[in-house]
Amino acid sequence: MKVVKFGGSSLATGKQLEKVFNIVTSDPSRRIIVVSAPGKRNAEDEKVTDLLIASGLHAMNGESPQPFIDQVIGRYRDIAEDLALPPTIIETIKDDLLSRVNGSQSDPEQYIDTLKASGEDNHAKLVACYFQMKGVHAKYMNPGDAGLIVTNEHGNAQVLPSAYNKLVELRDCEEIIIFPGFFGYSEEGDIFTFSRSGSDVTGSILAHAVKAELYENYTDVDAVFSVNPTFVEHPKEIKELTYREMRELSYAGFTVLHDEALIPAIQAGIPVQIKNTNNPAAKGTKIVNSRDNTNGPVVGIASGGGFCSIYVSKYLLNREIGFGRRLYSILEQYGISYEHTPSGIDDVTVIIRENQLDAEEENHIIEQIVSELQADEVNIQHSLALIMVVGEGMRHNIGTMARAANALAQAEVNIEMINQGSSEVSMMFAVKEVDEKRAVQALYNEFFQPASVLTV
């Protein structure tokens, strides 16, 4: 049995759904299909999920959500008409959406989660209708009925271990199951969504539950690339990755797969295959527990901007028991989570996402660190990008850090900070955002381009 997930771009039009149908029916082992909400049809288009959020915010502000509702219904109607589906499916979707829009707003987060989830939920109903019309034994499966029970965390739900005891029964279903991604139900019966792009997580949970032989994740690229293709022309495709490598790359900016999606698959030891809906013959990228490190120390380079650093210096900091705990406690008071904390004997730097700070909070945090921790120096550096160089092979190769640092020096990129993960599978460089692209290009040339041949 295989669990297959299709992303929003794979399900954005009737033509795309025809491709999905052909992919699913070409392999009888593809038994559980996880669907996203309709994605963008072109660069100027809007995702259905964004339209649903906008409708909810307008409704809560006392403004009419109707323009956004009309757009959402229009998206489903366009797909249904492309596929010549019966008009009853659109009536079903419309009734469901209106009931959610007109629902209770007493808990705003619950209201928005319920609305957001309708994108995937109603699309699963439409996809199931299409499969049935084509003569395939398929059925829509509601996550609550299936037993996908999650924590009460809006926009960040986590599957409860007890859910697997019920979800395993999906193995016995004779029909092809069309399952909406992105959300589950609390034990009290309320809808809670995963973080954005959480349909990847749903697919991984179901693969774990039914002990699938493979979890296929279909998107709009042939494979995972070794670097951002907008930074480097024709980057190398990665044929095989370990779970750990993909986790590091996803966290650092690779958007092909949600960074939480691998955890259930890892726990069950299920390989994941990234495939292209528009080119299903392409082999894609396989993510496995272990692989042969035959392609050098580095498998991929990921990057992302929007970070800042809080630098704290204090003489004999390393001998002060509880300093780190008290520093993190101050950040916790402001609801700030940290990403990295490189340190020295007299100083520590905390890397955070810049959108967690505003100017007023920034001044309060600096004052509080100085007054409560008696710090000698505190400053915040903005507009940083983090670049992650990832590869299991780094553990067995000498000089990888030196090569990376030299490549950045040759490109005249100043390294603001260096941090290596304890697993030795990744190393992180912080650079100014304006240098991000040039830095990534330099690192790619160092580790992936063939060395120049000198002639006399």
How far, in Å, CA of 204 to CA of 202, rounded?
5
Q: How far is CA 25 from the centre of its chain?
A: 27
285 carries a ligand binding annotation? no
Q: Which residues pair with 116 in a beta bridge?
A: none
Output the CA torsion sign for 285, 289, 295, 297: positive
How far, in Å, CA of 22 to CA of 452, rounded?
45
Q: Which residues pair with 255 in a beta bridge?
A: none
How far, in Å, CA of 123 to CA of 48, rounded?
10
How far, in Å, CA of 165 to CA of 167, rounded?
6
Q: Which residues pair with 177 in a beta bridge?
A: 32, 139
341 carries a ligand binding annotation? no
Going from the C-alpha of 262 to that of each of 247, 284, 293, 385, the distances in angstroms are: 7, 17, 21, 25
Instruction: Report the binding-site residues for ATP.
Output: 219-220
Residues making up the binding site: 219-220
